[in-house]
Structure 1
Amino acid sequence: MKKQTNNLRWKANLMSVSNDEVDADDRPKVTRKKVRDIFYQDIGITAQEKYLSKQDKTEVIRRIKVRWDKSITEKDSGIQIDSIDYNIERIYTNVDTREMELSLSYVN
């Protein structure tokens, strides 16, 4: 019997977030550019995660698990799943299994 070892079966877009540009009223304009595809596994949100995110005045909508990538940061990276953009609120890295858990919230 085969054992499935790769549970990262869904595909999302890793986005680069920058606010270098300004609009006509000299306000910073946030731009998102696709860096590459990234495979993920959807994991559930715990009650503790929801509680802690409410204290930080954010609302975590989704948690995903991806392969460990040092270039992914909360400030400069974002995720796009099914044409919906998400900000990364928290990153938990598990070095032993070489995986990262990303807590995502909607872009305002």
Structure 2
Amino acid sequence: TAMDSEEGESLWEHPVAHVLVKNWLKTESEHDCASPMATALCQAYKGKLVSKMAQTNRGAFCLLALSSTTDANLKKSIAQELKKGRKELTKKCDGTHTKGYEALLAAIPK
């Protein structure tokens, strides 16, 4: 996707870009407005939110922000993907730099 460079460098691991995306998503959800960024990300990563977006700890924080969208249809779709990816996320909690994964796991509806 356009979110990843040809060199394999991920937007989700970039020290500045991931914060920009996370804050953009938070702003969309806090202002209960249209969610163009959330919609675009859900379309681009449909079925791959956990495997692509949460491939890194920083990306997990972005996915957590995405899951806070006020768009009911997007929220439901994201929750379903997170439930399916719970096992994969749990495995990523072994080791260091796991706060994003831990926060994301805590937010997954039971």
Give the TM-score category using the shorter length: under 0.3
The structure with the largest strand share of the pair is: 1
If the length of structure 1 is used for normalisation, what is the TM-score?
0.26
